[in-house]
């Protein structure tokens, strides 16, 4: 027998989904084609829009699923089970939120590897040599074979590192749910109960971010993050090497050559400036050494003078404004050094400076 309430929710969800899709389409609508218009902006230009829509869509989907699942139950039901229904399975806004930031700006590394892999296979290489373990290479194309093997190995290592990273993200997600339950348990009193999806969502965000921050600051995350970045860079480096070789064969200037020219040019600019300034580096070093000596002497004099009663030296703190009073605090080390015993929160000048040195 049909459940009218659930049917209603399903119908509503379908309608809501249609509305969402229509809204998204309208918002993304491109102006009519104009043959004189400049080329469309690169994908990165729509970064904010993509991210905004992805974030809103994740929230919208979650609200729908939560309304149809956990929220539709009677309040007397087991709330932990209710929570699982609202956040379980595919209803994980965290995963969507995190996945959504793999934008064009972030270069979409995974997509790039796949494209590279496909392009290599389509060009007749078949399976990349090395994906099934390194094999000895020989003959005229030995170097190319070795490079392909190195790339395949790097790709595998990179994917393994990414998988480890994703495991940690998933762990943050799981621990976030646990934290959410802990937080909710503190709301089981009349007047403190969560009575809206938005309220529940905000609490979940707090819990998820706390769990994520704890993991993201861990030594394990540091190690995995470093490995992920390094392996990705290794893949990119090998891709660039192959591209450079191809360009060289085709007579196309390469990025490496341009970069090399840039390095030389910058070195020349430095030399030119230095020679124009007429101040050789050893003179600068000499000046710096003299300055250090002067500072050391000043410190000696200062510490000698500090032996005199502090009260005579210290300038009383000028009464600060209320705003400053609230937020200015002392630096303990300096207080000790200058023997200023003021209880105000503003650390006042303890040593006057000479007036500005005018040239004229």
Query: Please, which of residues 55-74 interact with other proteins by CB under 8 A?
Result: 55-56, 58-60, 63-64, 66-67, 70-72
State the nearest-atom distance from the C-beta of 233 to other proteins, in Å.
Answer: 5
- Using CB under 8 A, pick the residue from 87, 98, 113, 116 that binds other proteins: 98
Task: Calculate ∠ Cα 116-118-119, nearest 5°.
Answer: 65
Footprint on residues 26-45 left by other proteins (CB under 8 A): 26-27, 44
Q: From the centroid of its chain, how far is CA 70?
A: 33
User: Nearer Cβ to other proteins, position 54 or 137?
Assistant: 54
User: Nearer Cβ to other proteins, position 103 or 144?
Assistant: 103
Is residue 358 a contact point for other proteins (CB under 8 A)?
A: yes
- Using CB under 8 A, pick the residue from 259, 272, 279, 280 that binds other proteins: 259
Stretch of 123-131, 139-147, 246-254, 266-274 contacting other proteins, by CB under 8 A? 266-274
For residue 14, CA distances in Å to 26, 60, 87, 208, 358 come to 18, 13, 20, 29, 76
User: Nearer Cβ to other proteins, position 74 or 135?
Assistant: 74
# residues near other proteins by CB under 8 A: 131
For residue 11, CA distances in Å to 68, 83, 242 come to 11, 23, 55
User: Nearer Cβ to other proteins, position 22 or 119?
Assistant: 22
Is residue 159 a contact point for other proteins (CB under 8 A)?
A: no
State the nearest-atom distance from the C-beta of 221 to other proteins, in Å.
Answer: 7
Task: Calculate ∠ Cα 166-168-171, nearest 5°.
Answer: 115
State the nearest-atom distance from the C-beta of 225 to other proteins, in Å.
Answer: 5
Helix (H) or strand (E) run with residue 282 in it: helix 281-305
Please tell me the distance from the alpha carbon of residue 51 to that of residue 97, in angstroms, as a whole number.
Answer: 9
User: Nearer Cβ to other proteins, position 37 or 140?
Assistant: 37
Footprint on residues 107-136 left by other proteins (CB under 8 A): 107
DSSP letters for 59-91: HHHHHHHHHHTGGGS-TTS-HHHHHHHHHSTT-
State the nearest-atom distance from the C-beta of 24 to other proteins, in Å.
Answer: 10
Give the number of other Cβ atoms within 10 Å of residue 174's Cβ: 13
**Residues contacting 338, CB < 8 A, separation 6+:** 310, 313, 314, 350, 351
Is residue 10 a contact point for other proteins (CB under 8 A)?
A: no
Stretch of 140-148, 155-163, 234-242, 243-251 contacting other proteins, by CB under 8 A? 234-242
Q: From the centroid of its chain, how far is CA 110?
A: 17
Is residue 262 a contact point for other proteins (CB under 8 A)?
A: yes
Footprint on residues 202-231 left by other proteins (CB under 8 A): 202, 205, 208-209, 212-213, 216-217, 221-223, 225-227, 229-230
The answer to whether the beta carbons of residues 322 and 354 sit under 8 Å apart is no
Q: Is the Cα torsion angle 84, 89, 90, 96 positive or negative in sign?
A: positive
Footprint on residues 308-347 left by other proteins (CB under 8 A): 318, 320-321, 323-324, 326-334, 337-338, 346-347
Q: Is the Cα torsion angle 69, 75, 77, 79 positive or negative in sign?
A: positive
For residue 241, CA distances in Å to 90, 113, 117, 238, 244 come to 41, 15, 15, 5, 5
- Using CB under 8 A, pick the residue from 186, 251, 307, 311 that binds other proteins: 186
């Amino acid at each position: 027998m049909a459940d009218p309430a659930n049917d209603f929710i399903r119908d509503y969800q379908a309608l809501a989904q249609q509305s969402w899709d229509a809204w998204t389409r309208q918002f993304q609508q491109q102006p009519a084609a104009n043959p004189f218009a400049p080329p469309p902006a690169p994908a990165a230009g729509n970064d904010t829009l993509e991210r905004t829509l992805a974030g809103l869509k994740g929230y919208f989907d979650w609200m729908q699923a939560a309304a149809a699942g956990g929220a539709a139950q009677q309040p007397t039901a087991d709330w932990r089970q209710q929570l699982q229904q609202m956040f379980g399975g595919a209803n994980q806004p965290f995963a969507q939120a995190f996945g959504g930031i793999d934008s064009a700006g972030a270069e979409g590394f995974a997509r790039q590897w796949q494209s590279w892999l496909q392009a290599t296979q389509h060009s007749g290489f078949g399976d990349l040599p090395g994906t099934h373990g390194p094999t000895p290479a020989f003959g005229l194309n030995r170097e190319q074979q070795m490079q392909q093997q190195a790339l395949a190995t790097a790709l595998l290592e990179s994917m393994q590192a990414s998988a480890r990273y994703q495991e940690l993200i998933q762990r943050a997600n799981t621990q976030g749910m646990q934290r959410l339950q802990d937080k909710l348990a503190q709301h089981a009193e009349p007047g403190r109960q969560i009575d809206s999806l938005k309220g529940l969502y905000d609490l979940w965000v707090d819990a998820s971010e706390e769990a994520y921050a704890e993991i993201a600051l861990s030594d394990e995350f540091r190690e995995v993050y470093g490995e992920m970045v390094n392996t990705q860079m290794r893949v990119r480096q090998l891709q660039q090497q192959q591209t450079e070789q191809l360009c060289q064969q085709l007579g196309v200037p390469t990025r490496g050559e341009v970069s090399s020219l840039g390095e030389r040019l910058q070195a020349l600019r430095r030399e030119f400036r230095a020679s124009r300034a007429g101040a050789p580096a050893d003179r600068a070093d000499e000046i710096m050494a003299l300055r250090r000596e002067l500072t050391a002497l000043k410190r000696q004099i200062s510490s000698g003078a500090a032996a005199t009663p502090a009260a005579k030296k210290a300038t009383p703190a000028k009464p600060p404004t209320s705003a400053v009073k609230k937020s200015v605090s002392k630096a303990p080390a300096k207080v000790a050094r200058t023997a200023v015993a003021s209880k105000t929160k503003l650390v006042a000048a303890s040593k006057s400076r000479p007036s500005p040195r005018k040239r004229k």
